[in-house]
Structure formats: structure tokens, C-alpha cells
Amino acid sequence: MQTLAQNLTSQAVDASLSQLILTLADTSKAISQAVRHGALAGVLGATEQENVQGETQKKLDIITNEMLKDALKADGTVRGLASEEEDHVVEVSETGQYLVCFDPLDGSSNIDINSLVGTIFSVLPAPTGELSEASFLQQGRAQLAAGYVLYGPSTMLALTTGRGVQMFTLNPETNEYLLTQDAVSISKDTAEFAINMSNQRFWEAPMQTYIADLLLGKIGPREKSFNMRWIAAMVGDVHRVLSRGGLFTYPADNKDPNKPFKLRLMYEANPMALLVEQAGGKASTGYENILDIQPEQIHQRVAVILGSANEVDACLSYHGLDYSQEPDPELG
């Protein structure tokens, strides 16, 4: 089996980008160890701090954020970084070629129940001139690399550098990532979807109708039975989509008109959308392709619908047929 380093070389990935990817991968190994030690290391539970989104930070949120910051500062290729756990962008060097956006521990609400969590990252080119938040506001199609690490029964890395998607598994004996799936491909059709049904009453009409039709199964207009799965960690739900197809969505809702969206564009939606598209799937907000969105700020949130191409199209048809007018202003 190829190691991650060997695979990057075989794909002729630029040396500096390969170095950055290997830095992220090496840091994920240390994060995997921290997650696995859990209560033994006293890293479980919440702090009294909140991040910029007003969410209470878990101890591991802060620990993993600092681990990634320290590693990227030492890497030498990074100009700046943006993180879910940082209020503002962080300047790393004056000469780095890349910007890195990341969610250090996606699904951290799962930490204390020993369920799936992961790290999501996105690499962008660093523009010339003074570093500012505007430097990061690039469309998702500008990403040079994107991926996630899933900390589960085995630690796995999903990666794209624009040449398809590869899966690597961390060998616990050698501490090396080994290529275990090349050219990941998402099936175009599926009978599985993932959504947080507790928010059903707050969704827009198109999503309400779409999910209701899925739940009717063979007796409904889709004439097909569907299964529902929900892990409550985007990294786990998207991993399932990449592994066996499916549709994952976190749609707009009006539970809090000031916060109609849940997932962050720069370090969740964009990297996952690139992975999904590179594997033959589709990713949308319901009204536009995620990778075509022009970001307005680093902590911007968006609705997400991604996965098997034909099923995403089916979901979008509900938005087009049943909601042809402009979206409700309160929902973005």
C-alpha cells in the first residue's frame, strides 16, 4: 500500500502543498491520540468559554485548535489561518503560500458520549499584499486541497487535491497513513438520507415536502423506501455518503430568524462540497452550488444539501417546483 507521502508524489502534487498536507496529517495523528485517551487524559467535558458563534467550547475544541495552530505556524508554507474556534483570522507568516481554514473537532457534542468526531480542513492560495479577512473570502472552487480526518474505530483521512478523492487509513502499528481506497466514487442513486428531524417543523416548505415524500416510501410519490441515518457530526455523515452514497442535508430553518443556517461555509461546507463533487456527487444550498458562493465573512453559515447526484437533483426539484419565488428574506 502507498503511504500518504508516496501517493502525493505519484500524483505530482506541488512539493510545498504536499508538505502542508503532511503537516495536517501528522497533527491529526496527535489529535487521534488525544481523542482516544478521552477521560483517561481528563480532556472530556465543556469549558466556561464560548466561541465566536456563541457555542460553549469543549476542552478538546480548544486543545485541538491549539495543536493545529502550532503545527501550521511551524510548517513554513502557511500565510494565515481561520478556524471555527478563532474570532478572527490568524497571521502565521509574511511569506507563506497558503491559507488554511479548519474545524479542529467537528461534532464535538459527540465527545462525551464517545461517538464520531473529526477534523475538516481547506487549503486556499494566499493572495499577495497585507493579510486580512478579505484574503480568505474566496469561492470554494479556489481550494487547492480539502479533506477531513475521521476519528472512529479506525482513523481515516479523506483527501482531494483536485484529482479525485482518496481514502487513507492510519496504521496504528507504523503510525503511517496508507492508501486504502483510490478514486472514491459516490453512487448516483441512493435510498438513504441524513437529516436532523427534530427541526422538521422549522424547515422551508420545499424541504418539508421533500422529506415527507421520502418518509412515505413506496406508497408515496417517490415509490421507493428510504432509510434515515443521523450521526450529528458532519464528518461522519459525509463519510458515509462517500463510502456508500446517500444524501446529507442541514437545511435552512426559522427556529431562530437571526441564525437560519447551521454549517459554516469556509471550513465545513466548502471542503465537504469539493470532496463530494470530486467523487461525482453534487452539493447545493437548495438555490446555488456551494462552491460558487462568494463568501462575505469567514464565519458565514449556509444551508447544505449534498451527496448522490440524482438524489440531490430530486431534492432541488422540490425547491424549483414548489418554491419558485425568491427565498424568504429571514432565511437568507
Q: What is the CATH number of the domain that holds 169?
A: 3.30.540.10
Q: Could you tell me if residue 312 is inside a domain?
A: yes
Backbone angles phi, psi at 226, to 5 degrees: -120, 150
Is residue 149 domain-shared with residue 198, that is, in the same domain? no
Q: What angle do CA 204, 207, 211 make, to 5 degrees?
A: 140
Cell matching residue 191: 435510498
Band (pLDDT 50/70/90 cuts) for residue 114 is confident
Domain ranges, residue 301: 192-324
Binding residue numbers: 84, 103, 105-109, 196, 262, 268
At 239, the amino acid letter reads H
Is residue 238 domain-shared with residue 169, that is, in the same domain? no
**Average pLDDT of the residues in 30-35:** 92
Residue 323 pLDDT > 80, yes or no? Answer: no
Is residue 91 domain-shared with residue 221, that is, in the same domain? no
Band (pLDDT 50/70/90 cuts) for residue 149 is very high
Is residue 147 domain-shared with residue 46, that is, in the same domain? yes
Is residue 23 domain-shared with residue 154, that is, in the same domain? yes
Backbone angles phi, psi at 147, to 5 degrees: 180, 180
The pLDDT value recorded for residue 115 is: 82
**Average pLDDT of the residues in 125-145:** 97
Cell matching residue 80: 494565515
The pLDDT value recorded for residue 140 is: 98
Q: Could you tell me if residue 186 is inside a domain?
A: no
The pLDDT value recorded for residue 59 is: 81
Distance of CA 306 to the CA centre of its chain: 11
Output the pTM of the full model. 0.92
The proportion of the chain whose per-residue pLDDT surpasses 70, expressed as a percent, equals: 90
Cell matching residue 61: 475544541
> How many CB atoms are closer than 10 A to CB 244?
12
Is residue 199 domain-shared with residue 246, that is, in the same domain? yes
Residue 201 pLDDT > 70, yes or no? Answer: yes
Q: Is the dihedral of CA 280, 286, 292, 296 positive or negative?
A: negative
Q: Could you tell me if residue 17 is inside a domain?
A: yes
Q: Which of 152, 181, 210 is the last residue of a domain?
A: 181
Binding residue numbers for Mg(2+): 84, 103, 105-106, 268
Q: What angle do CA 160, 124, 267 make, to 5 degrees?
A: 75
pLDDT digits (tens, 9 = 90+) for 224-235: 999 999 998 999
Is residue 48 domain-shared with residue 161, that is, in the same domain? yes
**Average pLDDT of the residues in 147-162:** 97
Residue 267 pLDDT > 90, yes or no? Answer: yes
The pLDDT value recorded for residue 37 is: 76
Nearest Cα neighbor of 311 from 271, 332, 284, 292 is 284
Q: What is the CATH number of the domain that holds 231?
A: 3.40.190.80
Q: Looking at per-residue confidence, does 151 or 51 come out higher? A: 151
Binding residue numbers for substrate: 106-109, 196, 262
Cell matching residue 282: 453534487
**Average pLDDT of the residues in 255-272:** 94
Is residue 220 domain-shared with residue 318, that is, in the same domain? yes
Band (pLDDT 50/70/90 cuts) for residue 321 is very low
Is residue 146 domain-shared with residue 236, that is, in the same domain? no
Is residue 272 domain-shared with residue 163, that is, in the same domain? no
pLDDT digits (tens, 9 = 90+) for 233-248: 999 999 999 999 999 9
Residue 45 pLDDT > 80, yes or no? Answer: no
Residue 304 pLDDT > 60, yes or no? Answer: yes
Q: Distance between CA 24 and CA 323 in Å, rounded? A: 42
Q: Could you tell me if residue 330 is inside a domain?
A: no
Band (pLDDT 50/70/90 cuts) for residue 332 is very low
Cell matching residue 30: 496527535
* Average pLDDT along the chain: 91
